[in-house]
Amino acid sequence: MRFEELSLRIPGDELRMRFHKRITVVSGLEVPERRGLVDSLLGSLADGPAGNTVLTYVDSQGRRVTVSRSEDGAVLHTYDDGAFAPDLAAVLGLDGTRLNEMCRIDEAGVGLFAADVGLPESPELADARSALAAITNELDAARAARQAVEALREEMVGIDERLREADEGGAKRRYARLLAELERVRAEAAAARTGDVGAASDRRFMEHGRSAIRLAKRWTQVYGRLEEAQERFGRRERLDEATLAQAESTPERVPAKLDNLVRAYDQAETHRQELADQLASLATARLPEPTHPAVVRLASADQDAVWETARHVLETAAQLDEESLALGGLDTVGVNLDVATQIEMAHAAVEEAERVLATRRRQGLLATGAAGLVGVATLPIVPIVAPVALVGAAGAALWSFVGPRRHLQDVEADEQTVLQKAGVPTYLSFHMRRIDATIDPNARERLHLSALEHRVALAQWQELAGNLPPADALALEQEVRRYATTVANLGGAADEIDAVRRELGEVAEPGADKARAALMRACAPFGVDDPMMAAGMVREQAELAATAHLQRQLEKAEAEEAEVRDELEALLDQSGIDGTGIADRVGALEEAFAGARRRDQARTRARSREEVEAELSRLEAQVRAEHRPEWGAT
């Protein structure tokens, strides 16, 4: 069996404690209180509940058994259907003390305070432990010594390597100085061999080369900026021109408070929806289901005032239409004149039908005449073609005359219907009234007064019903009155519904609207108007704007690099510098310019050609002698 519920029934109140199907944890109780709870459970099961206490448990067959006391003090064990159940403790022969011993478990019972009792350790085990500890210490010491030896060995290897590198570095430096001297002497020998012709050629090359070198440095800087732009752009996909232009006007940074605004909107919308669901639940349980959402709002107001205001709006609108039509459909600020608009639209349809008829008439005359000529011309030659041509002429006439004329008659009839409805004989007289109003400015006074009265009535109606048109509201009048009567008869439930509705209309809905407006203001620069997708779409638009900005920078760097590269390649072509790539050609240019400058400087030395050639031979032999294979080619 398992306990299900222990309840204490006090007149006017009831305290219940329900138990879980598997385990119930009770916290916040001191030891005496926990013992009292256990004694109450087991005492109710063994000796019967005390006073107004009722115990409910489930037996092994899943049946609920209630243990209680009758008014005369007898203990009752009953099933849910009222049948008597057996006394479980009496059947098992258990009293309160024995049942308590079997069911209660304390800390010692689960081994929390059990003493750690063991056998004494033998001398052999103690000696083995001591020997193991000594061996472990010796092993640790040996490992530490081996690590120290390995560290010394590695240090010696590092010292030997540094000594070898120092020796090799000195030889490399001597070899580098020797190569520099060899290059100087080679330049001097080349200058001596070429004579005046070579000197003039070198001077011309250096004149062009200086411009090319400056342009090459500029290209290097521009190319570096291009590489930086390419690295920043990364592997993004390039945008088309239309998307690029649109994204450039979007901010690149996500608003700092976007997540907070989204969270505030979600919370406000959730609160509003919870109240709306609660209101719907209360209304569904106690009120009929309205056929229109405005029924509940209209039913909460004074019914006579609601319907008097609705009819007054329609009356002022009709009066305004009459005054406007009397002045040729003139409008006034803040009022939409439906009748005048209908007249203008109907007349525009008539004008369009007349234009189509005129166009079709010209086209039909040409088509009919051409078909008749074809029929007459082919009658002696191919008689079978003549009937076909005549049928075509008839079809052209039907298309060009009959159809457009019938359409014109229809739209003229529609225009006449609209004019008759407005009380205007013709469209011309409708506009003549406007001329009269222009000549006599006082004629507009009644129109402005009617418009003012209509705006006041419309404002009063919107305070009651929002944006619901008065004509649509009047169609719901009977349903709203019945709903209001039902609400008035609910009593306390009506107060509860009214409180929920007031919190929904005065707190939750304005709060949700305010949170939505704040979120939409933050999202407006990104073109996002859906609050449910605001966070993701704003981040997507910001990323798109960042991509557009990086793409513009990349395109600018590409255009600048292409312009400088074309100019540099032209100078390289003029200088006779060839190569597979622009970077290789720039390197060759710098090397050729340095050689020309060395030759020009060598010409200032007053040495004979024989002396230069002799020194060149000596240096080349010395370079070959000191060269090492691992240094590469000279």
Question: Is 7 found in the same domain as 67?
Answer: yes
Mean residue pLDDT across the chain: 76
The answer to which of 63-72, 403-412, 546-555 has the lowest mean pLDDT is 403-412
pLDDT at 129 (0 to 100): 84
Question: Is 220 found in the same domain as 133?
Answer: yes
Q: What are phi and psi of 18, to 5 degrees?
A: -95, 145
Burial 122-159 (b: 16+ CB within 10 A, else e): eeeeeeeeeeeeeeeeeeeeeeeeeeeeeeeeeeeeee
pLDDT at 608 (0 to 100): 63
Is the pLDDT at 226 greater than 60, yes or no?
Answer: yes
> How many residues can be counted in the chain?
634
Q: How many distinct structural domains can be found in the chain?
A: 2
CA distance 18 to 4: 6
Residue 351 lies in a domain: no
The model's confidence at residue 435, banded by pLDDT at 50, 70 and 90, is: very low
Residue 453 lies in a domain: no
Residue 16 lies in a domain: yes
Question: Is 175 found in the same domain as 100?
Answer: no
Question: Is 144 found in the same domain as 54?
Answer: no
Question: Is 74 found in the same domain as 165?
Answer: no
Last residue of a domain, which of 107, 142, 173? 107
Structure tokens, 215: 């342009």
Is the pLDDT at 492 greater than 70, yes or no?
Answer: no
Question: Is 175 found in the same domain as 101?
Answer: no
Check if the beta carbon of residue 314 is closer than 8 Å to that of residue 398: no
pLDDT at 335 (0 to 100): 38
In order, the DSSP letters of 256-277 are: TTHHHHHHHHHHHHHHHHHHHH
Q: Which of 134-143, 280-289, 527-536 has the highest mean pLDDT?
A: 134-143
Structure tokens, 43: 């005492």
pLDDT at 559 (0 to 100): 92
Q: What is the mean pLDDT of residues 305-331?
A: 75
Last residue of a domain, which of 107, 135, 166? 107
Residue 7 lies in a domain: yes
CA 97 from chain centre, in angstroms, equals: 68
69 strand-pairing partners:
75
DSSP 579: -
For the stretch 81-132, pLDDT in tens is: 888 888 877 777 777 777 777 777 776 666 655 445 456 778 888 888 888 8
The model's confidence at residue 453, banded by pLDDT at 50, 70 and 90, is: confident
Residue type for position 407: H
Is the pLDDT at 566 greater than 70, yes or no?
Answer: yes
Residue 47 lies in a domain: yes
For the stretch 598-610, pLDDT in tens is: 666 666 665 666 6
CA 512 from chain centre, in angstroms, equals: 20
Question: Is 93 found in the same domain as 14?
Answer: yes
Question: Is 88 found in the same domain as 9?
Answer: yes
Is the pLDDT at 380 greater than 80, yes or no?
Answer: no
Residue 291 lies in a domain: no
The model's confidence at residue 502, banded by pLDDT at 50, 70 and 90, is: confident
Question: Is 132 found in the same domain as 229?
Answer: yes
Q: What is the dihedral of CA 411, 412, 414, 420, to 10 degrees?
A: 170
pLDDT at 437 (0 to 100): 47
Last residue of a domain, which of 107, 140, 172? 107
Q: What is the mean pLDDT of residues 415-437?
A: 61
Is the pLDDT at 525 greater than 50, yes or no?
Answer: yes
Q: What is the mean pLDDT of residues 267-279?
A: 85
The model's confidence at residue 422, banded by pLDDT at 50, 70 and 90, is: low
Question: Is 134 found in the same domain as 103?
Answer: no
Question: Is 191 found in the same domain as 163?
Answer: yes
Question: Is 196 found in the same domain as 96?
Answer: no
Residue 91 lies in a domain: yes
pLDDT at 256 (0 to 100): 84
User: Which range of residues forms the domain containing residue 35?
Assistant: 2-107
Q: Please classify residue 313 by burial: count the beta carbons closer than 10 Å to its beta carbon, then call 0-12 exposed, 13-18 middle and 19+ buried.
A: buried
CA distance 23 to 123: 49
Nearest to 592 by CA among 208, 223, 262, 240: 208
Q: What is the dihedral of CA 277, 280, 285, 289, to 10 degrees?
A: -150
Residue 58 lies in a domain: yes
CB atoms within 10 A of CB 353: 20
pLDDT at 487 (0 to 100): 72
